[in-house]
Structure 1
Amino acid sequence: MVLGDLGSKLVDALGKLQSSMLLDDGIINQVIKDICLALIQADVNIQQVNELRQSIKRSLDANAIAAGHNKRVLVRQAVVEALSKMFDPGHPPFQPKRGRTNIIMFVGLQGSGKTTTVAKYANFYKKKGFKCAVVCADTFRAGAFSQLQQNAAKVRVPFYGEQENKDPVAIALAGVRMFTEEGFDLIIVDTSGRHMQDTELFEEMKQVADAIHPNDIVFVMDSSIGQAAHDQALAFRQKVNITSVVVTKLDGHAKGGGALVAATQSPIVFLGVGEGFDQMELFNTHSFISRLLGMGDVQGLVAKMEEMDLEKKHPELIQNLTEGRFTYKDLRSVLETFMQAGSLTQMMDMMPGPVGKFFHDMQGGDAANADREGFLRLKGFMTIMDSMTEEELNSVKPLTATRVSRLARGSGQHSRMVQALIEAHKLFSRFGSQLKGLGINPAGDINPRNLNPQTMRKMMSMMPQQALKQMGGMGGMQNMLKQMASMGRGMGGMGGMGGLGGLGGMFGGGG
């Protein structure tokens, strides 16, 4: 899960809203206290936690929890809005544009994963159609030249460096000039890792920036340093104009909260979620908070499935999911997609509600080996489905006890694994029913005919109040959804995925 323990503790705190028969001030105050304690334990600065507490209180006082208002929804919305404000700097990050020269300079602490992140960054934008190149201006760390050269070769982007030259300013300037003349869209300059006490290296960083005039200076921040991130980030900002941040090593680290909050004085653009060159994801505040609170990220999940051409490979899957015909064969297609997606942990974070919780539990509690454990258990599911008859694979109902025993024997798996497979199928089927109940037709588009007042009220109860106000209340929201539905139909086969993505962006997976 995103930030490991922090996400679990926040989910447990909000769970008290649902489990309490009588939601009085005592329960609400306890929920707020638990949330603040979880943030402090994740190394978020105490002053910022106190500001979050006051923000939640002010929001609840403003709503006054009047008669007829759903207290649980209001408290949940206040928490989501306060967390979103904490993690959002309020202005967008730099966006490189194709067809012109974009010079990106990377800076960061020693050991923050900066050189690997440079290659990930180049790989990401190369897939977006940018003509990318990297320049090694790190002359301080032994091995930096060969590491970046090898990484550049692996992601297949041109590399420039001068192994014998110890002048980073000259190297950076020469590399930028060469790649600019050759018409590259994105020129990424890696610089030496440095610490706030390294006065000479800090001055050198400023000299490089003054020489190449970067469009964007990206600060790579290691999430494991916790509250120390605040002082380090401040020291870098005092020397150069940091305009973007990448937070690394977030895959399960308990102290990542401190780094994230320190980073938000500059926009976070990416999160490092693993060691592979494709294990870096765009940061979106709403999606991140949704995943942190166990609500999933349907928008991110749909984007990932689009990237893998799931709709083209299995065109009937979305229709079956939303029509209540989701079979074990469909489940197999979904799980195969997860196994091909790179990081299972990343995919599981995107799954909404009970589905996400089920798969996280399946991965076990060891964050370092979560991908491996999850992969082994998914392989176990595949082995069980290999033992199924065609009738069983096409079934939409839970299997009988007799069939559970037969499948356990035939696949060599424990009967508990077979039961877990049945539970996974049941959760996906229930998720499909929820999507249909929210006004989504069999193609996956939002169906205006299903947008009745009852459905609209259900949707509105799941949205942050600020977003709802910006939309113009129920009338504005209904018009927007109809426009999305119309756009979806105009896009043909991609309309269904667009509709689901829109819902995911607004509701964070349905909460």
Structure 2
Amino acid sequence: MVLAELGGSITRALQQMNNAIVVDEKVLGECLNEIARALLHADVRFDLVRHLQTNVKNLVNLNHLAAGHNKRKIIQNAIFDELCKLLDPGKPTFTPELGKPSVVMFVGLQGAGKTTTCTKYAHYHRKMGWKTALVCADTFRAGAFDQLKLNATKAKIPFYGSYVDSDPVKVAVEGVKRFKKENCDLIIVDTSGRHKQEAALFEEMRQVSEATKPDLIIFVMDSSIGQSAFDQAEAFKQSVSVGAVIVTKMDGHAKGGGALSAVAATKSPVIFLGTGEHMNEFEPFDVKSFLNRLLGKGDLSGLINTIQRNVPMDQQQQPELLQKLSKGNFTLRMMYELIQNLLEMGPLNQVCTLSRLTLYVS
């Protein structure tokens, strides 16, 4: 997964600090320098890295710590908290609710995987009982409607688009109006991919936004574009009210730090990660769970949430298993039953739960 190298580098820096006989300002400085180099190598912006270093040094004042304090633990907690702040600017401006019709508009650069992400987003909510629908307002890219139509058909999600109408505003308005009449809970509008230098396409994006009045605008960001993600995200934020971010292609690039840190430009949180091409390779983003996995720690809350979403087991059996897990009770019998259920989901290498599971068995 993307950023695995970054996680390993940060973990090694913390381990070197733990191995030091005496933790002083020099050891702290060396640890922070190693972490800074790892973040910069992953394309995190320099000003954000410097800000993280400064904050940790301000939080951890070794000269004023009384004897008996666990300096290593204090430093680790401070670094963890600052990494959380780097990736979590707050809550989304709007959260869709089941039973209340909501319009969600997707924007982003061309090639970021926006159309596929729209379908994944719709499919994710459909599995949870939502009535979802897709509207193709991308009349600029050839084959955009065909792609959305194919994806929506596979996912069994109703869709709307046009082969003849080239006005994206008209198509978007008609699609939203149609699905509101059908009492859909979540209406997702896919728009054309655009670059910040394409003024005409940015104006078109604003017009679609004004016409459909979306409850939430999601910026889809390719994890592989590096530090340029910051400027692009900032341009989109200035044009429309971006309320959340989805980072795609998290399975194939080593320098995803630029994309993750670009949430600072939109001041909007990452809400989902695209971890592959398949429909189910899409997971909610939780900062603490993500960092725990990144640093090789256990992620119990992530394990429980994944079981609730994906593992096909009896409804009476699931609460009992989750209760035992939350108390730290995990037996070989439970592991056997869980793996039997996981096998029904397909190839194990596509089931992210298993990788988390091994953290607790080992």
TM-score norm. by structure 2 comes to 0.90
1:316 Cα deviation (Å)?
8.1
Paired residue for 2:8?
Answer: 8
1:287 Cα deviation (Å)?
1.3
Paired residue for 1:246?
Answer: 246
The amino acid across from 1:268 in the alignment is: V
Paired residue for 2:302?
Answer: 300
How far, CA to CA, are the matches of 1:185 and 1:350 in structure 2? Answer: 32
Consecutive unaligned residues in structure 1, runs of 5 or more: 357-426, 432-511
SS of equivalent to 1:288: helix
1:341–1:347 contact (8 Å) kept in structure 2: no
SS of equivalent to 2:61: helix
Paired residue for 2:288?
Answer: 286
Pick from 347, 357, 360: which aligns with 2:353? 347
Matches within 5 A, 1:407-446: 428=361
* CA 61–349 in structure 1, closer or farther in 2 if over 3 Å, else same: farther
2:94–2:216 contact (8 Å) kept in structure 1: yes
1:233-271 Cα offsets, whole Å, 9 max, x none, are: 011111111111101011252111111111242121111
How far, CA to CA, are the matches of 2:350 and 2:97 in structure 1? Answer: 31
1:350 Cα deviation (Å)?
3.4
The amino acid across from 1:236 in the alignment is: F
How far, CA to CA, are the matches of 1:85 and 1:105 in structure 2? Answer: 26
Query: Are positions 1:130 and 2:136 aligned together?
Result: no
Paired residue for 1:105?
Answer: 105
1:107-136 Cα offsets, whole Å, 9 max, x none, are: 110000000000000011112221111000
2:92–2:243 contact (8 Å) kept in structure 1: no
| 259-268 or 310-319, which deviates more | 310-319
Consecutive unaligned residues in structure 2, runs of 5 or more: none
1:3 Cα deviation (Å)?
1.9
* CA 2–28 in structure 1, closer or farther in 2 if over 3 Å, else same: same
1:104–1:189 contact (8 Å) kept in structure 2: yes
* CA 181–318 in structure 1, closer or farther in 2 if over 3 Å, else same: closer
SS of equivalent to 1:253: coil
Paired residue for 1:275?
Answer: 277
Matches within 5 A, 1:219-238: 219-238=219-238
* CA 162–91 in structure 1, closer or farther in 2 if over 3 Å, else same: same
1:24 Cα deviation (Å)?
3.1
How far, CA to CA, are the matches of 1:348 and 1:3 in structure 2? Answer: 19
* CA 341–70 in structure 1, closer or farther in 2 if over 3 Å, else same: farther
2:109–2:220 contact (8 Å) kept in structure 1: yes
* CA 179–62 in structure 1, closer or farther in 2 if over 3 Å, else same: farther
How far, CA to CA, are the matches of 1:286 and 1:235 in structure 2? Answer: 28
1:181 Cα deviation (Å)?
1.3
Matches within 5 A, 1:430-469: none
1:246–1:268 contact (8 Å) kept in structure 2: yes
Choose between structure 1 and 2: higher helix proportion.
1
Paired residue for 1:204?
Answer: 204
The amino acid across from 1:350 in the alignment is: R
Paired residue for 2:55?
Answer: 55
SS of equivalent to 1:6: helix
Paired residue for 1:179?
Answer: 179
* CA 266–322 in structure 1, closer or farther in 2 if over 3 Å, else same: closer
The amino acid across from 1:288 in the alignment is: F
Paired residue for 1:458?
Answer: none
The amino acid across from 1:276 in the alignment is: H
How far, CA to CA, are the matches of 1:350 and 1:63 in structure 2? Answer: 39
The amino acid across from 2:276 in the alignment is: G
Q: Which has the higher contact order (CA 8 A, sep 6+)?
A: 2
How high is the sequence identity, in percent, across the aligned residues? 44
1:93 Cα deviation (Å)?
4.5
SS of equivalent to 2:174: helix
How far, CA to CA, are the matches of 2:23 and 2:284 in structure 1? Answer: 37
Query: Are positions 1:147 and 2:147 aligned together?
Result: yes
How far, CA to CA, are the matches of 2:303 and 2:346 in structure 1? Answer: 11
The amino acid across from 2:58 in the alignment is: R
1:272-300 Cα offsets, whole Å, 9 max, x none, are: 11111111111111212222221131101
Pick from 265, 268, 273: which aligns with 1:266? 268
* CA 344–20 in structure 1, closer or farther in 2 if over 3 Å, else same: farther
Matches within 5 A, 1:364-375: none
SS of equivalent to 1:105: strand
1:175 Cα deviation (Å)?
0.5
* CA 17–175 in structure 1, closer or farther in 2 if over 3 Å, else same: same
How far, CA to CA, are the matches of 1:2 and 1:63 in structure 2? Answer: 38
TM-score norm. by structure 1 comes to 0.65
How far, CA to CA, are the matches of 1:266 and 1:206 in structure 2? Answer: 18
How far, CA to CA, are the matches of 2:89 and 2:230 in structure 1? Answer: 14
How far, CA to CA, are the matches of 1:244 and 1:323 in structure 2? Answer: 34
SS of equivalent to 1:243: strand
1:93–1:268 contact (8 Å) kept in structure 2: no
How far, CA to CA, are the matches of 2:324 and 2:257 in structure 1? Answer: 39
1:216 Cα deviation (Å)?
0.6
